[in-house]
Structure 1
Amino acid sequence: MLAGMSIPSTGPAIHVRGLEKSYKDLRVLRGVDLDVAAGSIFALLGANGAGKTTIVRILSTLLRADSGTARVDGFDVATQGAEVRASISLTGQFAAVDQILSGRENLVLVARLRHLREPGAVADGLLARFSLTGAGARRVATYSGGMRRRLDIAMSLIGSPPVIFLDEPTAGLDPEARLEVWQAVRTLAEGGTTVLLTTQYLEEAEHLADRIAILHEGRIIVDGTLAELRRLLPPATVEYVEKQPTLEDVFLAVVGAKGRDRG
């Protein structure tokens, strides 16, 4: 997990041009271009092996591109790695939390490592922001998958990074936990954080993203808002049919409105 602070950029929060990456004879990225506006949620959608994680690793300075340019929060990822790392947070596919500690102790530990003043107050604020106050004193080992993921995202925000990368944050979660994470991601954007989200779930991109890019065989083949992407298809034929509840409607009706600090 990487987090920090930086001077805000006046351009796009993320600017990528001609990004290429190969592993021996395997061309993973074949000239990727994308821009992410500050304070928005940008979904990078693609199947397993499409190159989503490779892009995130390059943008977070964990991997060097073969060619092309990329800037994050105004800093070049190839020549200003320290500045980039001070501007971002990266949350990978598995929650990086200490299950022996309580939720609050995890947050306090990271705040102290970041040399922040009043780490306890920082922890309490994040617990409240992500609806974990009631579970803050409990060991993380007792948390549900959704709660652990929310705590992981909360830890990523310590130091107020302007840009956060979420690499398939709901992979392996059950439907209820996935909905919890979706709300946490919306909370990030409402607070002004720029979010680049990778996912292979179509409904996740549809529910969360301001803009969606589809990555296929190492290239961005389409990039736009959901409305713009829908216009790529022929106009829908209007038919009058009885509306059936969606699976999400059924799930929420059966489970009921539960408190998010459940055990």
Structure 2
Amino acid sequence: MANVVFIHGLWVAHTAWQPWIELFHAHGHRAVAPPWPGEHATPEQTRRHAADQAGNGIDELTEHFAKHLEQFDAPPVVIGHSFGGLIAQKLLGQNRAAAAIAIDPAPIKGVKPLPFTQLRSAFPILGNPGNKGRAKGLTEAQWRYGFGNALSQAESDALWRQWAIPSPGRPLFEAAAANFAKNSPAKVDTANSTRGPLLITGATADHTVAPASTRAAHRLYEKSSAITDFHEFDGRGHSLTIDHGWRDVADVALDWMAQRQVTRAA
């Protein structure tokens, strides 16, 4: 069975992975979901101490999670959502993970499509340059547009109350400028043919990471002979890892791990 490390994205607490952890444990895997640097044990504590996360960028986040991966006796499988998916790709490209699943990942360097929905979802942070050095959260309405647009109003609001947290703005600014920066921290070694298998997923109703973005990310791996798979969830939004349909997404991840034989004795 596999060791698995879950990495969340912006604005969602690490504890939201708990149902996934329990499911993966039930399937014989050892799974953990470390917090981001500066994130506290509960969403409530993180909301009260938002400034503790401020200033962390993509490189800092990648090294933070690399240290967690080093605690295992062999590289684990990394599963990341949104910016967690970008970090998972970086760790895999650096051969620090055995395999990776990037669920609706934030755009890496080289992804060119920038749909209006994606711009609008990011504007609450990118609209103020001062947010680069801050940690900011989304309002209930902003969350509804970026995460809960494929859900009922009631479910979107409930998820915001339960899991929404402030997150550092710096990763978003770094990703937005990636194609204009030679040494962008959002750069991934997509040509690496010695890495383990990768699954990228998209969602057709995602406003925060539009399907055009995830498809473009998948195409960037064409120069690598390593396994790079793609799966798209029809009618799902950016909340797909935490909403009522999370089990469908988790089952795809488990099935892919079994298909690609990315398991090892824990």
Instruction: Looking at secondary structure, tell me which structure has more helix per residue.
Output: 2
TM-score by length of 1: 0.25
Report which structure shows greater RCO (CA 8 Å, sep ≥6): 1
Instruction: Looking at secondary structure, tell me which structure has more strand per residue.
Output: 1
Larger-gyration structure (1/2): 1
